[in-house]
Amino acid sequence: MLRDITIGQHFPGDSALHNMDPRAKLVLTLVYIIMLFVASNPIGLGISIVLVFGLYLLAKIPLRLIGKSLKPIIPIILFTAVLNVFFVTGESEPLVSLGFLHIYREGIDYAALIVVRIICIIVGTSLLTYTTSPIVLTAAIEQLLRPLSKLKFPVHELAMMMTIALRFIPLLIEETDKIMNAQKARGAQLDSGTLMQRVKALIPVLIPLFISAFRRADELAMAMECRCYHGGEGRTRLKELRMSGKDVWLTVAAVVVFVAMGLSNFLWK
């Protein structure tokens, strides 16, 4: 299960989406998430699904990664769907009655919309990290937040912390997998027993994981100090971020799709 978590992983490539300006990708990703909540109808969500699949094909990212990115959150998706099915009421007669629980058609429809929306958010945001390296993502976040520096806001430090945290996710997952395998080799029963027994069995995993995380953080801080890192003031960049013609066309195409998602509310009515 841990190996299926792909958050924070980057897959190098030479597609138009990989080479797109990271600032545009970051802004478009945020707008995409907003539009998923604005276009709360099957037509809008259908357009978003087509958009995501098209971008995966454009970036030449294997579609099997969609399943891997969704596998860890399947319990959350199912739990959310069940809650909406049983607790969303409607004006019509219930389809099924189980004591005090009633299942309405509106509840089933709303649960389906919520599930599709969650899947689109996970798959769409994962595409951002798949096609953008942590270093480039740091530069994009810093430049987008640069106006806040006039208010003495530590923009560079914030961007660096966010990117380091994102980069550490795959490392911590890999470390957790190693520790769990080592504990299983010593006879630990991590996958059997009651819920309380499984929780207690995780204690021997969490302690070395925290120790490893603090050690990695200390090594990273020491490495940054040895390289005379003192924040973003006065720093220059090897590659400056610039919008190309392809970036403009991709941005315009994405905006057109977002407008179509927004207009779908009027079409659905």
Question: Do 126 and 70 fall into the same domain?
Answer: yes
Question: Do 3 and 94 fall into the same domain?
Answer: yes
Phi first, then psi, for residue 57 (nearest 5°) are -70, -40
Residue 137 lies inside a defined structural domain of this protein: no
Question: Do 84 and 194 fall into the same domain?
Answer: no
Residue 145 lies inside a defined structural domain of this protein: no
Q: How far is CA 67 from the centre of its chain?
A: 14
Question: Do 105 and 222 fall into the same domain?
Answer: no
Question: Do 32 and 107 fall into the same domain?
Answer: yes
Residue 81 lies inside a defined structural domain of this protein: yes
The rounded distance, in Å, linking the Cα atoms of 213 and 25 is 30
Count of domains forming the chain: 2
Question: Do 126 and 14 fall into the same domain?
Answer: yes
Question: Do 52 and 116 fall into the same domain?
Answer: yes
Question: Do 79 and 169 fall into the same domain?
Answer: no
Sign of CA dihedral 218, 223, 225, 230: negative
Structural domain including 5 reads 1-132+240-269
Please list, in sequence order, all residues whose beta carbon lies within 8 angstroms of the beta carbon of residue 124, skipping any fewer than 6 positions away: 29, 32, 33, 36, 48, 52
Q: Can you give the pLDDT at residue 263?
A: 87
pTM of the model: 0.76
Q: Can you give the pLDDT at residue 20?
A: 87
Q: How far is CA 161 from the centre of its chain?
A: 17
Please check whether residue 26 is in contact with residue 251, taking contact to mean a CB–CB distance below 8 angstroms. no
Closest by CA to 52, choosing from 254, 268, 260, is 254
Q: Can you give the pLDDT at residue 31?
A: 92
Tell me the average confidence (pLDDT) per consecutive run of 10 residues in the chain, 269 residues long: 58 83 89 87 86 88 77 81 77 70 78 87 86 81 80 78 76 79 74 69 79 84 80 66 83 90 78
Question: Do 55 and 17 fall into the same domain?
Answer: yes
Question: Do 254 and 230 fall into the same domain?
Answer: no
Number of Cα atoms under 13 Å in the Cβ half of residue 138: 19
Question: Do 61 and 176 fall into the same domain?
Answer: no
Question: Do 190 and 126 fall into the same domain?
Answer: no
